[in-house]
């Protein structure tokens, strides 16, 4: 086996502060069924979305370092907060590794469907404060008159990690975050946090009809596929006909049992085993 083949057969690393990145992993496994994945949720240090840039950068470098040690051929930063705060540092630290964030693909998904009523970005406090989405959207929509709004949703990550979609309190929290935008609001809502797609059904009942809710999962998966194809890094272990790259390995820095129980609602599939790891 040549060393190049060994690289093509290596896993793709995916990380998030917790289980939110599983919504991106779900799209990745659909778009790249022949690939193997290693997922890390830094659950011991979640949330990232209330922390400073310096801290998020440090956490992201450590999480990425762990996956790099495991020999991944590419890295997906399945966390908007880490993508917005730490992508340049990650790309500088691991210069030979293809590294993908979720902010640019998320912005593309929203820009594709947006109209003049505008785009509302819902994300963590750190993502909204950092302005990564506002910048990415402004770049993509240059010359148009689409207004861009941002709102931080501080409690959503906690509710999502606890699997509280059907709680009465959850509906109240979601409605509170959307206050002022429910009537005559922007017709495109961008879920700028990978935890938020688990509230898709809740949002469906709260939002007026005609509002598009988009996230970065599908566009990220397509961007990863295109880039790995261009670099000849796709797994072709059996000539490309293999449909399943092998079982995903799951790592978490805390709460393996909760990860197994709640994680399946993020992934849309069972998670048989999670290994605890220290970073
Ligand atoms: N899932 C992460 C994101 O996309 C953030 C969750 C957190 O605050 O840790 O921003």
pLDDT tens digits, residue range 153-205?
A: 989 999 999 999 999 999 999 999 999 999 878 999 999 999 999 999 999 99
203 domain-assigned: yes
Confidence of residue 276 (pLDDT cuts 50, 70, 90): very high
The pLDDT of residue 2 is above 50: no
Taking only the tens place, the pLDDT of each residue in 118-131 is 999 999 999 999 99
The enclosing domain of 107 has a CATH number of 3.40.50.1860
Rounded Cα gap, residues 149 and 140, in angstroms: 15
Confidence of residue 236 (pLDDT cuts 50, 70, 90): confident
Task: Say if residues 149 and 138 touch (Cβ distance below 8 Å).
Answer: no
The pLDDT of residue 231 is above 90: yes
Same structural domain for residues 210 and 244? no
1 domain-assigned: no
Nearest CA, atom 7, ligand 1: 47
pLDDT score of 29 = 96
Rounded Cα gap, residues 72 and 244, in angstroms: 17
pTM, to two decimals: 0.95
Torsion, Cα 132 76 74 256, to 10 degrees, reads 140
- Average pLDDT of the residues in 209-234: 97
pLDDT score of 237 = 66
Rounded Cα gap, residues 224 and 98, in angstroms: 9
19 domain-assigned: yes
- Percent of the chain whose predicted confidence (pLDDT) is above 90: 92
- Average pLDDT of the residues in 21-34: 97
| Catalytic choice (107, 193, 221, 223) | 193
The yes-or-no answer on residue 153 being catalytic is: no
All residues at 6 or more sequence positions from 18 whose CB lies less than 8 Å from its CB, including other chains: 41, 42, 43, 46, 47, 157, 161, 195
Same structural domain for residues 200 and 125? yes
Rounded Cα gap, residues 242 and 35, in angstroms: 9
**Among 86, 100, 157, residue to substitute to test ligand 1 (most atoms within 8 Å of Cβ):** 157
- Count of the separate structural domains present in the chain: 2
DSSP state letter for 196: G
Domain-terminating residue out of 201, 216, 231: 216
Hunting for tokens 């240090």 — which residue is that?
A: 45
Confidence of residue 238 (pLDDT cuts 50, 70, 90): low
Same structural domain for residues 223 and 87? yes
7 closest CA partner among 224, 220, 228, 225: 228
Write out the two tokens for 15: 């990380």
The pLDDT of residue 257 is above 60: yes
126 closest CA partner among 223, 49, 72: 49
Alpha carbon of 100 to ligand 1 centroid (Å): 16
Q: Which domain holds residue 84?
A: 6-101+218-276
- Average pLDDT of the residues in 15-23: 98
pLDDT score of 3 = 46
Rounded Cα gap, residues 47 and 161, in angstroms: 10
Q: Which atom of ligand 1 is nearest to the CA of 84?
A: 10
Alpha carbon of 54 to ligand 1 centroid (Å): 15
Alpha carbon of 83 to ligand 1 centroid (Å): 10
- Our answer on whether the CB atom of 104 is closer than 6 Å to any ligand 1 atom is no
The pLDDT of residue 240 is above 90: no
pLDDT score of 139 = 97
Other C-beta atoms lying within 10 Å of the C-beta of residue 169: 10
Rounded Cα gap, residues 222 and 229, in angstroms: 10
Alpha carbon of 1 to ligand 1 centroid (Å): 39
pLDDT score of 243 = 55
């Amino acid at each position: 086996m040549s060393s190049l083949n060994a690289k093509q057969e290596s896993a793709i690393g995916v990380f998030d502060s917790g289980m939110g990145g599983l919504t991106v992993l779900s799209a990745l496994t659909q778009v790249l069924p022949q690939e193997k994945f290693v997922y890390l949720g830094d659950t011991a240090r979640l949330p990232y979305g209330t922390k400073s840039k310096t801290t998020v950068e440090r956490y992201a470098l450590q999480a990425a370092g762990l996956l790099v040690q495991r020999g991944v051929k590419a890295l997906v930063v399945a966390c908007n907060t880490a993508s917005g705060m730490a992508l340049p540092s990650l790309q500088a630290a691991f210069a030979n590794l293809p590294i993908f964030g979720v902010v640019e693909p998320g912005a593309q998904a929203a820009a594709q469907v947006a109209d003049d009523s505008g785009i509302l970005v819902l994300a963590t406090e750190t993502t909204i404060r950092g302005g990564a989405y506002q910048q990415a959207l402004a770049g993509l929509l240059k010359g148009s008159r689409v207004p861009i709004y941002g709102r931080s949703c501080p409690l959503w990550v906690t509710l999502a990690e606890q699997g509280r979609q059907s709680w009465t309190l959850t509906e109240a929290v979601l409605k509170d975050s959307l206050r002022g935008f429910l009537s005559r609001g922007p017709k495109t809502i961008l879920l700028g946090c990978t935890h938020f797609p688990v509230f898709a059904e809740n949002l469906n009942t709260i939002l007026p009809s005609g509002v598009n809710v988009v996230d970065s999962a599908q566009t990220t998966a397509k961007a990863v596929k295109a880039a790995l194809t261009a670099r000849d890094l796709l797994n072709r272990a059996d000539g490309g006909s293999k449909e399943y790259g092998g079982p995903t390995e799951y790592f978490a820095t805390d709460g393996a049992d909760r990860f197994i129980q709640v994680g399946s609602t993020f992934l849309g599939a069972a998670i048989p085993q999670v290994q605890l790891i220290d970073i």
